[in-house]
Structure 1
């Protein structure tokens, strides 16, 4: 694990150097243009990991997280709240299609995200398609405080890694768990509002925010976060609607589920069938949890409590139905396949049904 962190550290330094080089080229181009072209033109964005119902839900009667309806300019910077931050999605990345850490913040300060990286050139006999590094996490921010007109700060209350710490191989890829990157050691996170003077922002943070020097940007155009401990800038983008977010989870999972179904139809051994259906259970559970979170933060309290009771009963019925499928094989080697297959298929059906509760 320490080796992977060293690799990540080196990759981060390499990314910064690349960004510096590109900025130098851009700056040189600007100077050339100014010196040679000035005379001709001077005006030139619940359930836990085991599908267990979580009791706490900080909800309001509006049932709206403000997704995709307002821009950075619509935020009243004298009353910034977590509900305002929930209007955006956040990303910390290399900017070149490599590693990326994305997360969302909800209106009660809860956040959830995932980090991924890959090395397709690092292969082995059991993983010919390379290595993928990953981390799923969640936690809570608290105590937003105003620093100045364009700056706020908040504290991280807690952060939890959701995936286990074991490596595994699936579909020719070796999956290696890591720790969160964007929020690593982030006891304090600064919030930079649109309009903040760029010259007041640390140069390294500017690079992470991909501020366009070529256009001589004087003030920050979009809301940004800063991991103070690591001096890392985190960009924001307008968050998609709750409906599209949930549908995205479902459609992506459905494609993966169908892929595993095709594999299952060609599997020759029970062991292979167990492995394939276990993957279907895993992805269907993830889909259910993601859609449930969207419901939790985007329905009013009365409606949510109604769905919650329905969900509790459904969980009992699903588990019972899966067990019935397994019991048909009297504990034989195929019992696990039957259990997994029923569990996953019923869960996918429920995910599709839950989409109807999101407007």
Structure 2
């Protein structure tokens, strides 16, 4: 092999090795000097914890949120970046988070696209729009208000009639939604839909030993306290059953009947007046709670959940969840825990 051929061979080999190595250089550099160590941002729908963004904001702001150089609406502090809380244009054009050191009361509708943190209460007249609000006290928004991202009130959160709460609403106290409000995901010890009437005493279940599911037509005993029906099933009124029930058709639970167990159906579930299920209620189709009925466990539907007035899901010392693409709650219904309408939720009624 001549010197020229040897030189060409060496150049070819070196060039080939260089081209084969180049694609691995970015990976080598990232391994030696990582550039993605920071936590990835969490999109609005990706965290199962309803109060995730409120907790993150609180942590970011050092607990109370008042020790950071943000806009301050307190009349007690004379800062260059302070603005008049009653100046609508200031709210509409603010480009920094708003931190208020005392109660904020807005008498004129505003539109604020930056996060708001009130150290005490936050109240705004109807027609206002906010991206996110956190309050150490109450949040009270008038009718036709909008929350586009999230809101959290430590003591409570109240939306006036026909308001819209997109994404997440949470509270350590009570969430109150007036008639016509639309919602997506909420969490609180108590979620009140519309005007909640004083609850009457729940009827006492019939005395004596519980009735047997095996007495119902078409019932199959699947072991233990589990029963199954192929087709539709109607549970009689004013009975007391112990056990869980699976129905392949439509399940109808009679008025004033109590079931100590879980129920599951494929084509629909209807709970009669003051019927009570102490476990979960799961269905592929619509779940309809008639007036005064209740469930202590999770309520899950692949289509709709309808709550009439006086319905109670969960209880004060046992929060649970309601999950469905569409949730329609009549004024007077109450839920304890999480309410998640994956597509749309609305409060309706005359009150």
Tell me the TM-score range normalised by the shorter chain: under 0.3
TM normalised by structure 1 equals 0.21
The answer to which structure, 1 or 2, has the higher relative contact order (CA under 8 A, 6+ apart) is 1
The structure with more helix, counted as a fraction of residues: 1
TM normalised by structure 2 equals 0.22
